[in-house]
Amino acid sequence: MIYLASPYSHPEPSVRAARYEMACRATAAIIREGQPVFSPIVHSHPLVRFGLPTDWDFWQRCDRQYMRGCREVVVLTLAGWRESRGVQAEIDLAIDMDLPVSYLSPEMISNVSGGETNISDRPLSQETSI
């Protein structure tokens, strides 16, 4: 299974919502490619309305467990991913777990007719450092 890391925390709810939407698009595109994927943002964003925090300090324990069940980490390189404490911690954790880390830019995710979301034919960047 792929672990999809992406930035989320931000003081503006509209930014968090936009990041959630892009994480959903990326998750759908990866699933459409036939790959099982887990996105902690897709999983947890709807839970925030029940009073759960949005920061890495709260979610890191759960996310570590989720990552243990994955074979690789894909970083969705939305604006803010380099500054995101959570994404940087997820990359470090993946390296500690000897999981490959690759990078998926939002430009590689496209919408086609019928609302289908796909990943472009370009391969993911196979970097292990940033």
Domain membership flag for residue 22: yes
The tokens describing 28, both together, are: 């759908």
Q: Please check the confidence at residue 25 and state whether its pLDDT lies above 90.
A: yes
| Mean pLDDT value of segment 84-90 | 95
The pTM score is 0.83
Taking the C-alpha atoms of residue 51 and residue 100, their distance in angstroms, rounded to an integer, is 34
Domain membership flag for residue 128: no
Q: What is the pLDDT of residues 94-124, one digit of tens each?
A: 999 999 999 999 998 875 334 555 666 544 5
Domain membership flag for residue 6: yes
Domain range for 58:
2-119
Domain membership flag for residue 129: no
Taking the C-alpha atoms of residue 100 and residue 42, their distance in angstroms, rounded to an integer, is 21
Residues 6+ apart with CB under 8 A from 23: 4, 6, 8, 39, 41, 42, 45, 76
Q: What is the pLDDT of residues 27-83, one digit of tens each?
A: 999 999 999 999 999 998 888 889 988 888 888 888 999 999 999 999 999 999 999
Domain membership flag for residue 83: yes
Domain count, the chain: 1
Strand partners, 109: 119
